Structure 1
């Protein structure tokens, strides 16, 4: 095979000695799918791709890489959007360590509502395993058919059910992690409550592979909902949508499992994926609301009565209730399709902003005004989870603008949007993480004491800076 120009035959032989030939790819064809992200925006390089088939092989690979001084980039399903698992700028080169072969469900304990799985398990497989025991694992993402649970933990994934069930860190009971020196730490216990000192798993959740490699995940399960009601609504403004959310949060309480808002301008993107998609309502702002319960609660009456009151107050201009599971899926296909449509259209400015829920209308209004004044030929798109303060405000370039110019202007647009969210006291990353694309702005925005604390963690656990260099931290020199 053709060897990557940066790896020596001796190093390749050493890696194959630990993992076998099937566990190492060092040729262009064998590495290709590990070196680009789902969006197509980012492409990188690697000395080799390592594919350990057991936790022991992960440990052996990490020890060997440490001895050889090879930087390591842990990789799950590679569905991230911030280049967290792709080397797009580490000058010394690195190996990618894919967890895809660690893909077993270890345990489903329906009595204790616990599931244990290898880090490489695809999220959908975990959801299916839970459902087979009449349980629910509620983490729900557009990429759930290909993303892996270890990556979900490492990036603290969010998704459409955060409003009710929380982020990935709220769903994780324990982790198993290979540390940068190759030692294995297991935090599995099955305990929902354990107040014995530091909660070490939280250090690794959201650390994006910079402190160790997650090899196993223990998660919470919930009773499978027996009733689900979904409605697609039309409203006059984002202000009305947030007012509706406040009222729904009180009127429907914790039965709300999702509350999505979509600017009507996004519909064209969904039709790029399916030209037959037709919005159930005609209005400037669309809302997708879902209630669910595992108990004998009349959700239909609750939702109908709530919406009747909202219509009577002229808060909702139009409403369509799903009459079947298929119709509910059709509603959700609009939300999922607009994301796929953006990727299909090509390069665009992609943000993942969060603010206080009450500031969502202000964020969208200021962002739209900024684009209209500074970049009037670009097309803003606003949608998001809303109920948890997360808005994806994306901006599409003119179709006739060359991609290099689009990307150059995109940097300026992104900076302007970050200025707006920072002025509102918000976050530049609600759920996608920092990766390599946001690390400089992230680091620049930290207070000195914050830098010192996260730097101390990094330097203590990974003193040689071999774990995912370039991700999260600009450089070890900056951290020190």
Structure 2
């Protein structure tokens, strides 16, 4: 694979093909990622306004063998949006393609361009008295195209699934510049290989998503939220089963919160009101979305009383207003911000089977204590088995003092995840940060198939080189 830089000669020729103002010098925001672990480079940033312009850009890059780095909201956490070395690529930003092309309430479908912010899609659904349930802390800045390219998860996966589960059809530009018109709104379309699901989660390595048809849902008539203290992770899992016994699939989120995360909030974000004066070792945030005529407060009280009787909860708070619901969710959504302020040594986005979670957490704590006196903040989406298992230096110490331990920590956690038949990347993707992990822990047959697919669709290797699969 011999790629060429997006140099002045290439950019001059490309500029003649495109409307004025499509190409721009790369501002720093296009070359950074949120955690500051990658510093990218680019010859220019292209900001097309239509799928036809995207097609022209990608076709020109394919002919000149210039790398293309699709760019959404820039909120990815594994370096998928940055290229650090090699010939300077062309960054392709979808930010000008933000249109909501259609809302079909009777079909429970919305069609949006890839540059539309997640919050914009949510608001368009609300206007149609519908719900688009994908919910992320970055929803004001992340884009639908990026959500699909990374198969984003979030807090509502338990009930509604990942981004993949919310997509019916795609419009995309393939690595040769051809436009795939797969923007179907059909629920049933059994016509061969599923190119939609191939592109979702491919992180821009197989093409550029330009628009999507997305599933909408009826809005819950009544919502309720509670935070409950549990004596252990095992008790939290038993409580989840109890919640489902009471309300079935009406449980929208079930989030595990560790004492360390609340302590980080108290230390770094005192403006966030914590629910308990004494920080519990383990607590869960439970969110329900019920139908007309159902009372979420009564349902949560019945759950609490049953949990109390079974020894699964010891205390709790049920939100009495929308403002209090917002307070509870602010606690959960502020934990990653507090984590960032503290400064982690290693951040792990992992998943393991539900029945193994408690054992995994305890064994992991013990294994990490053998390496160093670390603080571990274990929190996340307990209902779908996704934990953020993040490691921090002792209080008062700088994470840089433990750079020598990074590889040991990663290997210890990932080896343990593999032993429990889990995944080293639950919702953040592979990007460039975890390419080596995929090679170490991925199934070799799957990896070979992935490389064959990449070679077939992108023989020149121009699409986001080095993301997901190592660049030759």
TM range (shorter): over 0.9
Q: Which residue of 2 aligns with 1:12?
A: 11
Q: How many residues align?
A: 467
Q: CA deviation at 1:403?
A: 5.5
Q: Which residue of 2 aligns with 1:263?
A: 258
| Contact 2:6–2:42 (Cα < 8 Å) also in 1 | no
Q: Which residue of 1 aligns with 2:303?
A: 306
Q: Which residue of 2 aligns with 1:364?
A: 361
Q: CA deviation at 1:440?
A: 1.2
In structure 2, how many angstroms separate the alpha carbons of the residues matched to 1:400 and 1:326? Answer: 35
When structure 1 is superposed on structure 2, of 187-196 and 171-180 the one drifting more is 187-196
In structure 1, how many angstroms separate the alpha carbons of the residues matched to 2:82 and 2:431? Answer: 9
Is 1:210 aligned to 2:205, yes or no? Answer: yes
| Contact 1:164–1:254 (Cα < 8 Å) also in 2 | yes
Is 1:442 aligned to 2:435, yes or no? Answer: no
TM (norm. structure 2) is: 0.95
Q: Which residue of 2 aligns with 1:56?
A: 52
TM (norm. structure 1) is: 0.94
Is 1:39 aligned to 2:38, yes or no? Answer: no
In structure 2, how many angstroms separate the alpha carbons of the residues matched to 1:415 and 1:400? Answer: 25
Which secondary structure state, in structure 1, belongs to the residue aligned with residue 370 of structure 2? helix
In structure 1, how many angstroms separate the alpha carbons of the residues matched to 2:33 and 2:211? Answer: 23
In structure 2, how many angstroms separate the alpha carbons of the residues matched to 1:202 and 1:418? Answer: 26
The one of 132, 135, 138 equivalent to 2:133 is 138
| Contact 2:172–2:210 (Cα < 8 Å) also in 1 | yes
Which secondary structure state, in structure 1, belongs to the residue aligned with residue 171 of structure 2? strand
Distance of aligned partners of 1:441 and 1:13 in 2 relative to their CA distance in 1, 3 Å threshold = same
Which secondary structure state, in structure 2, belongs to the residue aligned with residue 320 of structure 1? strand
In structure 1, how many angstroms separate the alpha carbons of the residues matched to 2:78 and 2:228? Answer: 32
Structure 2 unaligned regions, length at least 5:
none
1:434-454 Cα offsets, whole Å, 9 max, x none, are 000001110232333212211
Distance of aligned partners of 1:347 and 1:328 in 2 relative to their CA distance in 1, 3 Å threshold = same
When structure 1 is superposed on structure 2, of 310-319 and 323-332 the one drifting more is 310-319
The one of 59, 67, 74 equivalent to 1:71 is 67
Is 1:389 aligned to 2:388, yes or no? Answer: no
Which secondary structure state, in structure 2, belongs to the residue aligned with residue 217 of structure 1? strand
Is 1:336 aligned to 2:301, yes or no? Answer: no
Is 1:318 aligned to 2:288, yes or no? Answer: no
In structure 2, how many angstroms separate the alpha carbons of the residues matched to 1:253 and 1:259? Answer: 13
In structure 2, how many angstroms separate the alpha carbons of the residues matched to 1:180 and 1:109? Answer: 31
| Contact 1:342–1:348 (Cα < 8 Å) also in 2 | no
| Contact 2:206–2:463 (Cα < 8 Å) also in 1 | yes
Matches within 5 A, 1:264-303: 264-271=259-266, 274-281=269-276, 282=278, 283-303=280-300
The one of 103, 108, 111 equivalent to 2:106 is 111
In structure 2, how many angstroms separate the alpha carbons of the residues matched to 1:117 and 1:32? Answer: 27
